[in-house]
Amino acid sequence: MAQKIEPRIFKGARDFLPPQMVRRNYVINIIKTVFEKYGFEPLETPTIELWETLSGKYGEEGDRLTYRFTDRGDREVGLRYDLTVPLSRVVAMYPQIPKPFKRYQIQPVWRADKPQKGRFREFYQCDVDIVGSASMLADAEIIAIIYEILQILRFEEFTIRINSRKVLSGMVEVSGAGMEKEFDIYRAIDKLDKIGFEGVAEELQKLAIPESAVGKLLDILKIEGTPAQRLDTAAGLLAGSAAGQQGVAELITLFQYLSRYEIPGSCFAFDICLARGLDYYTGPIYETVVEKPRIGSITGGGRYDNLIGLFSGQSQPATGSSVGLERIITVMEELEMFPPQLNTSTGVLVTVFNEDLLPYSIQIAGKLRQAGINTDLYTGASKLRGQFGLANDKNIPLVAVAGPDEQAQGSVNVKNMASGEQQTVPLDALVEYIRSILSGD
RNA sequence: GUGGGUGUAGCUCAGUUGGUUAGAGCACCAGGUUGUGGCCCUGGGGGGCGCGGGUUCAAAUCCCGUCACUCACCCCA
């Protein structure tokens, strides 16, 4: 035998074994169902994009973290960094797509990052976006979807933080710090939660911003009161900036719309410190944070009215959010939010008593499968003991035994693995019996 | 890219001031139970201590190097 190859996996990438996949699919199905309930339609795009498509969209950091290589034809290509840029490319390539275009997309993305807790190099994102609507209603739809998904998944404590890039740029404009340092300033502001006002002040000073500008920025950041009051105050402080004023006006409209959806006010908040890292945002930005496991944001997004224009030459308003599947799963695992018994997709294992009785077992499995019951027919070589062991290891809730006695009377013996109870049921009643156990419990 | 931590059976880890054939739990295999698992009992297989070098009569235990993994920063889902 040749020397064994040490089985290893690429750092930051993962295998999802069946018990994990069942849970992942559970979450994905809920997300997908809500997306479709709100009238969004599916889209998929290639893993690999031309480098020119990906580069320069996310900012310096984003470029650095994008997997990049040359293919055999010496073409510069990369693995997609997110799902928003590919969407923008698609919208520009297919102008005939009816607008507003509401699409959702659930696919993996890649980042050449150092893996950490809740952080991978290959991971799934679930994006929902609306292209072709400049209305705050589009942003409200996105936020409503996020709320509903988290609700159905039974998240109890989370906050959807909302801000606007226009408000932020208005702040920079009014402060006199200089627009060329805009993004650096955002990054500093974004750290407020972690490093506090003093920390932010230090960060800003490092950027060689005039003392007076630092003071003005901090004054704005320190606005207090209810969301409405803070927006009001912000409007006053940003009076000198057209962008800032427009940003505030948009947020006021957005919050008005949100109040029309049935979202409790405690679940979302105007947060002037929210900045978000990507360069392409132009309007409202939002992200969801949970406190319980300190894992950062579980969703993130915003409006990007100029991105599509980079591909089509004609700008197109767009807004949307990414729902972070991996982090949602991490939180749900840690808080034990998954329904119990969510370990297998199989409902029943049909055993094979011996070679002679195999036809009978096949017949039984066929009957169950025809009825739409997920049925495993044992294909191994073990005796009944081993077959029960397998059902146990795989968490299959029911085992059907069809031995000589059962065959003689045209029945099947069904064992409930959780309770240990067994019952012999006639073949005609089998489907109904198993269905009732699997659904009811 | 920067800093810290760890590397002993498939997994989680223990291994006293360096000293005889390196341990436990879980997992795995077999039997107790040739129509039934999960519990229990009995027995068994499996590593030579990430790798390379050094010190020593003697190293998993000390030193140097190297690799890998991991946590944090940065940034982000």
CA of A50 to C1' of B48 (A): 51
The string of DSSP codes covering A238-286 is TTT-HHHHHHHHHHHHHHHHHHHTT--GGGEEE-TT---S-TT--SEEE
- Residue pair A412/A401 in contact by the 8 Å Cβ criterion: yes
- Of A334, A344, A28, A286, the closest CA to residue A155 belongs to A334
Residue A4 has what pLDDT?
Answer: 62
Residue A1 has what pLDDT?
Answer: 39
Q: Can you give the residue ranges of every domain in chain A? A: 18-334, 348-439
Q: Which nucleotide is nearest to A397 (CA to C1')?
A: B37
CA of A121 to C1' of B51 (A): 27
Residue A229 has what pLDDT?
Answer: 87
Residue A225 has what pLDDT?
Answer: 83
Q: Which nucleotide is nearest to A402 (CA to C1')?
A: B35
CA of A352 to C1' of B43 (A): 29
Ramachandran assignment for A132, one of left (phi > 0), alpha (psi -120 to 50 degrees), beta (any other): left
- Of A269, A174, A260, the closest CA to residue A228 belongs to A269
- Of A193, A186, A223, the closest CA to residue A289 belongs to A193
CA of A399 to C1' of B23 (A): 40
Q: Which nucleotide is nearest to A422 (CA to C1')?
A: B36
Reported as a single tens digit per residue, the pLDDT across A134-182 is 999 999 999 999 999 999 999 988 999 999 999 999 998 988 887 888 8
List, as own/partner pairs, every contact residues A264-271 make where C-beta atoms lie below 8 angstroms and the sequence separation is at least 24, other chains included: A267/A147, A267/A158, A267/A159, A267/A160, A268/A143, A268/A147, A268/A159, A268/A160, A268/A161, A268/A162, A269/A159, A269/A160, A269/A161, A269/A162, A269/A227, A270/A162, A270/A163, A270/A227, A270/A230, A270/A231, A271/A161, A271/A162, A271/A163
Segment holding A162, helix H or strand E: strand A159-164
| A385: CB partners within 8 A, 6+ apart | none
In the sheet that holds A318-323, the strands lie side by side as: A41-42, A101-110, A122-131, A318-323, A297-303, A284-289, A159-164, A268-270
Taking chain A (441 residues) in runs of 10, the rounded mean pLDDT of each run is: 66 85 93 97 96 88 87 91 94 95 95 84 93 96 96 91 92 85 84 80 82 86 84 89 93 93 89 84 92 80 93 93 90 84 90 93 97 94 90 93 94 93 95 92 54
What ipTM, to 2 d.p.?
Answer: 0.82
CA of A396 to C1' of B23 (A): 36
Rounded to an integer, what distance in angstroms lies between the CA atom of residue A120 and that of residue A111?
8
CA of A116 to C1' of B63 (A): 32
Segment holding A96, helix H or strand E: none
Reported as a single tens digit per residue, the pLDDT across A5-35 is 667 788 888 888 888 889 999 999 999 999 9
- As a CATH number, domain A348-439 is 3.40.50.800
The string of DSSP codes covering A289-320 is E-SSS---EEEEEEE-TTTTHHHHSS---EEE
Q: Which nucleotide is nearest to A382 (CA to C1')?
A: B34
Rounded to an integer, what distance in angstroms lies between the CA atom of residue A130 and that of residue A143?
12
Residue with tokens 């290891």: A393
Q: Which nucleotide is nearest to A391 (CA to C1')?
A: B37
Helix and strand counts by DSSP (H, E) for chain A:
17, 16
Which of the listed CATH numbers 3.40.50.1970, 3.40.50.2300, 3.30.930.10, 3.30.465.10 matches domain A18-334?
A: 3.30.930.10
Protein-covered nucleotides of chain B (CB closer than 7 Å) are 1-2, 28, 33-38, 68-77
Residue A133 has what pLDDT?
Answer: 96
**Distance, C-alpha A170 to centroid of its chain:** 31
Residue A184 has what pLDDT?
Answer: 84
